[in-house]
Amino acid sequence: MLQQYAALYAEAYGREESVTELIPAMLAAFLESDRSFVRSRSTGK
């Protein structure tokens, strides 16, 4: 599935990125979009 994501990324953005380059950005985006996680970090719990 990661290879498929990388292929779709290349189509959408016009440049190829390796899966190892995409994973950190994907993980950061996921963590930033997790409202419970973001809320718990801002309250220190």
Per-residue pLDDT of the chain (45 residues; tens, 9 = 90+): 999 999 999 999 999 999 999 999 999 999 999 888 888 888 876
Q: In whole angstroms, give the CA distance from residue 7 to residue 36.
A: 31
Task: Provide the pLDDT for residue 15.
Answer: 96
- Structurally, the chain folds into a number of domains equal to 1
Q: In whole angstroms, give the CA distance from residue 31 to residue 7.
A: 23
Q: Could you list the residue range(s) of the whole structural domain that residue 16 is in?
A: 2-43
Q: In whole angstroms, give the CA distance from residue 29 to residue 5.
A: 14
Q: In whole angstroms, give the CA distance from residue 33 to residue 22.
A: 17
- Helix, strand or coil for residue 18? coil
